[in-house]
Amino acid sequence: MGIDHVVVMGVSGVGKSSVGPRLASHLGWTFADADDFHPAANIAKMSAGIPLTTADRAPWLETVRAWMAEAAPGTGTVVACSALRREYRNVLSSAGSEVLFVHLHADAETLRRRMQQRDHFMPTDLLDSQIADLEPLHESETGLTVDAADDLETVLVNLFNRIDTRTTTPEMQVNA
């Protein structure tokens, strides 16, 4: 079985919302940014510099999972979603199809600089809490980690080269 869904994951500022649409276009799949599924209460909380709890994230993750699961058969999806913890990724994995997690990773200094240069509800103050919450992909999860510290084009070329071989490969390992 090939990949039906890709979750571009990582902490704020790593490039999920830049990489995700380009990856979806490359694959000919449908894209969504999980930030668009946040309820107003979550956005208000994050805008105020208050980290979300697992309870805050649960309905949001379920909405993202439902969007993935409702995709027309044969229609792949790409979603940009922090998916910081394994338990969150387990929710997304239950979309009913094969899900590949693409963990974008960059150093904290790069992330802070990027966050300061954009207009987004997530304040830079919350980066440390996201880094603390992040659980790297486990060997049992289908995924790969991509260094996202380079410029966008370099990250995309690296990702496209790695993912093209995986979308049709039945057996996949983490960080292969």
**pTM of the complete model beyond 0.85:** no
* Average pLDDT estimate for 40-49: 84
Two tokens at 140?
Answer: 């049992």
Q: Residue 118's pLDDT band (boundaries 50, 70, 90)? A: low
CB of 147 within 8 A of CB of 111? no
Q: Residue 171's pLDDT band (boundaries 50, 70, 90)? A: very low
More confident residue, 122 or 19: 19
H runs (alpha helix) in 70-151: 86-93, 108-116, 127-133
With 60 as the cut, is the pLDDT of residue 167 above it? no
Average pLDDT of the chain is 83
**Nearest partner of 145 among 85, 100, 109, judged by Cα:** 100
Q: Residue 73's pLDDT band (boundaries 50, 70, 90)? A: confident
| Dist. CA 176–CA 163, nearest whole Å | 10
The CATH number, out of the four listed (2.30.30.40, 3.60.21.10, 3.30.360.10, 3.40.50.300), of the domain defined by the range 5-164: 3.40.50.300
* Average pLDDT estimate for 35-52: 85
**Nearest partner of 99 among 78, 72, 85, judged by Cα:** 78
Say whether 52 sits in a helix, a strand or coil.
Answer: coil
Q: Which residue has the tokens 């805008």?
A: 47
